[in-house]
């Protein structure tokens, strides 16, 4: 079997995505800093975060059906082009001195919408460029890529924002151009050969994917649990920024603090393949929730940006194991023709709470302050850990081999 490092198409896909994700982390750090600089309002920063992630809730299901119909590679190229243009328009408006909060929100919403389509297509494409046996290793490398991009992109976002408010968004626009170039060089098709039979109604096809996922108790409950944790972590990012800013941290230092997630994630991605092979998926799910539940309260008692970054890194260390284990499980047992729809249904549940996390964090920070906000988030995380432990769908989950054997 060809090693992944010699798999030309996988290397191109990985490299293009690495540059693109780095650009996204840079601009993602700059968005709240920009809104806070213009309005001095955490609630408005939370509103922009809400608009950026609202497409996760609105468009996941139709996007999954469309990705299974359309050419996945072409879809990814068009989405990258649209995101690059949107980011460039934001930078131009900043340089011209005509930027408004409405435009920031609109660009964030457009970028989020195109990300939904791109992400579903990319997730399905991985299985077409690597053999099934190498999926855990490929997903682990993707996790390392994403976490490494966070580690580098978030401090870079703060540093570049300090140089010029438009710079992070220009850099992100260029990153999308690099991603497009890498996609154009890939030879492999991103989907199996499509049937010539006439397509049914889009709603019917979406329903087929939802029903399939519903009949997988472990994946269904795992999606619900990650919805809660994603809500909390989306809220936590804004909480960390506000706490650090209130203690006099510079934009560059805030970026370093947030980069803790990248450091922890890269380290976690190194052990994720071993965990996937040796630790049952149900153990990873229950254990991850308890680690987060124990670490979350520390944010309420720590004020140093460096210590906050260390806590954030410890939380992020667990994430790759979850993503690789659950991702391998899902991709291995899902038919290719359903990949977009299954991913969209799962992501709708798992990521649909993210926009609410941004909105809730902004409102809570202004109304009750950072400390009480963290206490509330900690209580909710504890509830998730107890729910994971008590769930029969998690505790009685079959192994990956058993689930794959049942499907065949």
State how far the Cα of 381 lies from the Cα of 384, in Å rounded to an integer. 5
Picking from 321, 341, 337, 358, the residue whose alpha carbon sits closest to that of residue 222 is: 321
Q: Evaluate if pTM is beyond 0.85.
A: no
Least confident of 17-21, 164-168, 196-200, 334-338: 196-200
Q: What is the pLDDT of residues 103-130, one digit of tens each?
A: 999 999 999 999 999 988 998 888 888 8
Q: What pLDDT score does 406 carry?
A: 59
Query: What confidence score (pLDDT) does residue 178 get?
Result: 95
Give me the helices (H) in 70-166, please: 72-96, 101-129, 135-163
- Buried/exposed 306-317: b ≥16 CB within 10 Å, e otherwise: eebbbbbbbbbb
Quick one: angle between helices 305-333 and 339-351, nearest 10?
A: 150
Residue 34 in tokens = 């920009």
CB 269 within 8 A of CB 147: yes
pLDDT at 173: 94
pLDDT level of residue 86 (50, 70, 90 thresholds):
very high
In this predicted model, what pLDDT tens digit does every residue of 239-283 receive, in sequence order?
888 888 888 888 778 877 877 777 888 888 888 878 877 888 888
Whole-number pLDDT of residue 87: 93
Task: Say if CB 316 and CB 268 are below 8 A apart.
Answer: yes
pLDDT at 68: 84
Question: Which of the two residues, 303 and 392, has the higher pLDDT score?
Answer: 392
* Residue 114: strand, helix, or coil: helix
Q: Classify each residue of 252-277 as buried b or exposed e, where b means 16 or more C-beta atoms within 10 Å of its C-beta.
A: bbbbbbbbbbbbbbbbbbeebbebbe
Cα–Cα distance measured from residue 25 to residue 146, given in angstroms and rounded to the nearest whole number: 9
- Low-confidence winner among 82-86, 348-352, 358-362 (lowest mean pLDDT): 348-352
Neighbours of 377 (CB within 10 A): 24
Burial 228-238 (b: 16+ CB within 10 A, else e): bbbbbbbbbbb
Output the pLDDT for position 346: 79
Task: Identify the band that residue 199 occupies on the pLDDT scale cut at 50, 70 and 90.
Answer: low
Express each pLDDT in 17-63 by its tens digit: 999 999 998 998 888 889 988 888 888 888 888 888 888 878 888 88
Question: Could you tell me where the DSSP H helices lie in 186-304?
Answer: 202-214, 217-246, 251-258, 260-278, 281-295, 298-301
pLDDT value of residue 147: 80
Here the tokens at position 323 are 């993503």
What is the rounded average pLDDT of the residues 315-336?
Answer: 82
Helix 101-129 vs helix 72-96: crossing angle, to nearest 10: 150
Whether the CA torsion 93, 113, 118, 255 is positive or negative: it is: positive
**Tokens at 300, concatenated:** 């309420």
pLDDT band at residue 408, thresholds of 50, 70 and 90?
Answer: low
Q: Which of 176-180, 215-219, 297-301, 373-377 has the highest mean pLDDT?
A: 176-180
């Amino acid at each position: 079997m060809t090693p992944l490092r010699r798999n030309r198409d996988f290397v191109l896909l990985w490299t293009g995505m690495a540059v693109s994700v780095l650009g996204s982390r840079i601009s993602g750090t700059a968005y709240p800093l920009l809104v806070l600089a213009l309005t001095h309002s955490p609630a408005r920063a939370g509103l922009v975060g809400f608009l950026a992630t609202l497409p996760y809730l609105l468009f996941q299901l139709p996007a999954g059906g469309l990705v299974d119909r359309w050419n996945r590679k072409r879809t990814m190229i068009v989405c990258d082009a649209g995101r690059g243009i949107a980011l460039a328009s934001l930078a131009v408006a900043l340089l011209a001195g005509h930027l408004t909060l409405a435009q920031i929100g609109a660009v964030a919403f457009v970028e989020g919408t195109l990300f939904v389509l791109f992400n579903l297509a990319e997730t399905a494409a991985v299985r077409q460029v690597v053999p099934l046996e190498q999926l855990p290793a490929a997903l682990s490398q993707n996790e390392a890529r994403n976490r490494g991009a966070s580690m580098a992109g978030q401090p870079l976002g703060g540093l570049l924002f300090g140089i010029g408010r438009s710079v992070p968004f220009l850099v992100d626009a260029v990153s999308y151009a690099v991603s497009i170039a890498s996609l154009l060089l890939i030879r492999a098709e991103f989907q199996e050969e499509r049937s010539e039979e006439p397509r049914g109604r889009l709603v019917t096809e979406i329903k087929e994917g939802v029903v399939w996922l519903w009949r997988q108790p472990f994946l269904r409950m795992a999606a619900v649990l990650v919805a809660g944790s994603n809500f909390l972590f989306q809220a936590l990012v804004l909480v960390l920024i506000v706490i650090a800013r209130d203690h006099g941290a510079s934009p560059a230092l805030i970026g370093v603090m947030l980069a803790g997630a990248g450091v922890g994630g890269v380290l976690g991605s190194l052990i994720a393949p071993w965990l996937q092979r040796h630790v049952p998926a149900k153990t990873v799910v229950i254990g991850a929730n308890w680690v987060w539940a124990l670490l979350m309260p520390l944010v309420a008692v720590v004020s140093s940006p460096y210590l906050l970054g260390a806590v954030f890194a410890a939380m992020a260390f667990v994430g790759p194991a979850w993503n690789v284990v659950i991702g391998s499980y899902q991709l291995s047992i899902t038919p290719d023709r359903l990949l977009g729809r299954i991913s969209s249904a799962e992501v709708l549940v798992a990521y649909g709470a993210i926009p609410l996390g941004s909105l809730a964090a902004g409102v809570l920070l202004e109304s009750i302050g950072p400390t009480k906000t963290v206490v509330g988030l900690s209580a909710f995380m504890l509830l998730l850990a107890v729910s994971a432990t008590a769930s029969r769908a998690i505790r009685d989950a079959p192994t990956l081999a058993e689930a794959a054997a049942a499907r065949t």
